[in-house]
Structure 1
Amino acid sequence: MSNVFVIDSDYKPLNPVHPARARCLLTQGKASVYRRYPFTIILKRVVDQPEVHPLRLKLDPGSTTTGIAIVNDQTGNVVFAAELSHRGYAVKGDMERRRARRCGRRNRKTRYRKPRFHNRRRKQGWLPPSLESRLANILTWVARLCRYAPITALSQELVRFDMQAMEHPDIAGIEYQQGTLAGYEVREYLLEKWKRTCAYCGKENIPLQIEHIQARAKLGTNRISNLCLACEPCNKAKGTQDIRVFLAKQPEVLTRILAQAKKPLQDAAAVNTTRWALWERLQAFGLPVECGSGGLTKYNRTTRTLPKSHWLDAACVGKSTPETLKVKGVVPLLMTATGHGSRQMCVPDPYGFPEKHKKRVKSFLGYRTGDMVKAVTPKGTFEGRIAIRHRPSFHLGKRDIHPKYMRCVQRADGYEYTQKGVRHAPPHI
């Protein structure tokens, strides 16, 4: 599994240690648990002139999931691995619902309001809240890991999707002089879009070919919405047939392929929009930032015969990747952004009118919703996330437990964690 982070009593990061070593330090009373996720221990003394090994933090930013890996460039050991799931689409959905409620309420008021769009100004580098949420999640964890481990360098994958070339592959000359899109990146995009499976038979872990949904012989184009992935037998069986004729006996597969082909390029657009903004904000940490392309990441991963996953892609980012990556036994920490609650003081009904009001204080008796606690009660010992109520009884799972039996293990930080198949999620309010 991943190593355990160690800090001394002055909160200075030391070399991460094996879990067995951390267990010995805790048993001997030389250290105590500082944080549960990621698991960090704090020594009860100050280490003078520690010999720390420089580590590199690598990032594989994605639209929905970002891979994180801490690698020792000298030994090739993957010290820590994680996969961070963003809530950008949830933020966008919440804002769209709020906008719909406000629009409906104003229309029902039947009053005229002059448009204000010409009076509004956005600051330089403005990003939509859904994209800001993705950047904030990544930067939060970069700052945290830099506090727990001796990070001396950063690596970021700068994915580039040429949107214009995806929509118009034949554009050239005066109309387009920004370079050409290598087919390698188109393949990468199709692999992500079609989940690395054959669109017709659904087989995985086999060689896949680029398939034209409408054949070129039938005036089909090379635009991204007309491309999918198919194994060699399915590609030969379809030939130049119309897809509706080829899948006449499989209407469900036909419907799924046509719907997937029309899926917008919103994931690629999100990555394109945030890649340079993330690079600029990483510069503020004062560490050297190495950049690598998606093609280089795949080359590093395939030459080292590693399977496809977000955290392994992160470990293979950049030219600094060691020739041999030691990933045996590494269990990634799965982190899902859940937010810190809503700032709405009143909950509206489906028509946008106030339905009930929330308490102005989020904490009660020293606890907040989402805190991880351990409760030792006469009926047994329970551990997990709590949902507070403004009365002396909190929800812990399906039980109501008095806070006098509770001891806080880790404060709510806006994320839920999963490791070794155990899910520790904040309860729904």
Structure 2
Amino acid sequence: MRVFVLNKNRQPLDPCKPARARILLSAGKAKVYRRYPFTIILAEEVKRPITHEHQLKIDPGAKTSGLAIVQGKRVIWGSELTHRGFQIREALISRRQLRRSRRNRKTRYRKPRFLNRTRPKGWLAPSLTSRVQNILTWVKKLSRFCPVTGISQELVRFDTQKLQNPEISGIEYQQGTLYGYELREYLLEKWNRKCAYCGVTGTQLEVEHIKPLSKGGSNRVSNLAIGRRPRYANACRPCNQAKSNQDIELFLSKKPSILKRILSQAKRPLADAASVNTTRWKLYHDIKSIGLPVEVGSGGLTKFNRCRQSLPKTHWLDAANVGKVETLIVEVTLPLVITAKGHGTRQLCRTNKYGFPTRHCSRIKFHKGFQTGDIVRAVVTKGKKIGTYVGRVATRKSGSFNISTKSGLVQGISHKYCKFIHRKDGYAYTN
């Protein structure tokens, strides 16, 4: 993975290879500007720098989003950003429960409040807003370290409008290769990548009409399921061939539980995909406001590009394949893993499981020059804990810190042994 380079005036230059960065650092021609992502700054200003076009590509996800920077055909940088949306949701649920129980204890006979609180247009839940803000933060951050000239975003996971109404844009789209990828990928996720009738996994699956076309069925996605097909000529008859053009009620007349499950799952609206698409549209408008040209693509196109090049399924490689892609040369071996941690809490006290305060929280965030969340390196030379520890630090007024390392929590490390690696910015990093 390449190293970001800044001019002396902090203007982003073309990223260089790690070997080149080591030469510049050892010769004193550059200094480390930032550890995550690793960035160097030149000691002397380049008067007329020449930079090339770089495309920042984004694959938004519910739990993890992929980021990649592509220069021409080369993937020079990649990362996977893990969100904390589910933690935010659980924290809000816990807070709501504690407040409700406290109100019931102290204002038992209070009249219920009239529901007069309205949400503004375009409102998103805090867990979804956090995901959008995380990606937007890193788009702006990478634009400061790299001469990004354009952004590619996977705008929709599935083209739900065309899935629901295949006749919307002509026969060329319906019968194209990309439409098949869109449709099959959505059905695989909807039916949990197993046969809708027998539940078998690990076999080849094909699209099945729940209500046969010969009896008035349609090609709408709500009438489609996934069934298995044989791998060999002497295999047992697949479910879709056994069903043939029978009504599903007749085919599953002896299996009422399976019939009930299939009918309810088939009628399930595209709510999951629609909610993700809503978040992506919000992200799209926020990214567009930055001022860079934005290219969009769908999840089906991303998978088509990745499978055509026989690349493994990862978030950052999915990001590299967003939009129009011919051929990619992947220079990244290990992506930078980024985990959103937040910026702490404003609570003045900690509570037990019943909501009662148990201990006080100090308003002072900095102790001995360190703040909880800083990434430090501690080299302990004497005592029972001799060794080197690298990780996020939790500070105390006494100067005895705790460090969260890859191998676990190390307690009681003096601040005298700690040195900064990276200031707290709300994220944890793993190379």
Normalising by structure 1, report the TM-score.
Answer: 0.79
The answer on whether the counterparts of 1:211 and 1:235 sit within 8 Å (CA) in structure 2 is no
Tell me which of 305, 311, 318 is aligned to 1:306: 311
Q: Does 1:94 align with 2:94?
A: no
Correspondence for 1:155: 152
Q: Of residues 306, 313, 321 in structure 2, which corresponds to 1:316?
A: 321
Shift of 1:303: 2.8
2:397 maps to: 390
Structure 2 distance, partners of 1:141, 1:384, is 21
Deviations 1:357-406 (A, max 9, x none): 31112221221122111122213333222111221110123242111121
Give yes or no for contact 1:131–1:270 (8 Å, CA) kept in 2. Answer: no
- 2:387 maps to which residue? 380
Match of 1:28, as an amino acid?
Answer: A
The structure with the greater share of residues assigned to strand is 2
Contact 2:66 2:316 in 1 (8 A): yes
Contact 2:68/2:319, CA 8 A, preserved across alignment:
yes
Tell me if the contact between 1:56 and 1:71 (Cα under 8 Å) persists in the aligned partners: yes
RMSD: 3.9
Q: Answer yes or no: is the 8 Å Cα contact 2:77–2:332 preserved in 1.
A: no
**Matched residue SS, 2:80:** strand
- 3-state DSSP class of the match of 2:55? strand
Q: Over alpha carbons, which structure has the higher Rg?
A: 2
Task: Say if 1:30 and 1:44, in contact at 8 Å, map to a contact too.
Answer: yes
Specify whether residues 328 and 51 from structure 1 end up closer, same or farther in structure 2 by C-alpha distance, changes over 3 A only: closer
CA distance in 2, matches of 1:262, 1:347: 46
1:129 is displaced (CA, Å) by: 0.6
TM-score, normalised to structure 2, is 0.79
The answer on whether the counterparts of 1:87 and 1:130 sit within 8 Å (CA) in structure 2 is yes
Q: Superposed, which structure 2 residues align to 1:319-338 within 5 Å?
A: 319=324, 321=325, 323-338=326-341
Preserved contact between residue 74 and residue 331 of structure 2 (Cα < 8 Å): no
- Gap regions ≥5 residues in structure 1: 174-178, 249-255, 420-429
Residue deviations 1:172-220 (CA, integer Å, cap 9, x gap):
99xxxxx9996643422244456767784543xx6433468x8979xx9
Change (3 A) 1:85 1:288: same
1:198 and 1:18 map into 2 onto residues whose CA distance is 47
- Using the TM superposition, name which of 23-32 and 49-58 deviates more: 23-32
Residues 192 and 69 from structure 1, CA distance in 2 versus in 1: closer, same or farther, beyond 3 angstroms?
farther
Greater CA drift, 406-415 or 179-188: 179-188
Q: Residues 13-412 of structure 1 correspond to what in structure 2 (within 5 A)? A: 13-73=12-72, 76-108=73-105, 109-118=107-116, 120-159=117-156, 161=158, 184-192=181-189, 200-203=199-202, 207-210=204-207, 227-228=225-226, 230=228, 232=230, 236-238=237-239, 239-240=242-243, 267-319=272-324, 321=325, 323-378=326-381, 379-396=386-403, 397-412=409-424
Q: Deviations over 1:225-244 (max 9, x none)?
A: 98456564599454457599
Structure 2 unpaired stretches of 5+: 244-250, 404-408
Distance 1:15 1:258 in 2: 55
- Judged with a 3 Å threshold, the aligned counterparts in structure 2 of structure 1 residues 223 and 189 are, in CA distance, closer, same or farther, namely closer
**Cα offset for 1:349?**
2.6
Aligned-pair identity (%): 48
What amino acid sits opposite 1:303 in the alignment?
A: R
Cα offset, 1:56, TM superposition: 0.7
SS in 2 for 1:117: coil
- Distance in 2, Cα, partners of 1:382 & 1:243: 64
Shift, 1:20, TM fit: 1.2
In 2: Cα distance, 1:313 partner to 1:243 partner: 43
Deviation at 1:258, TM superposition (A): 12
2:389 corresponds to which letter in structure 1? F
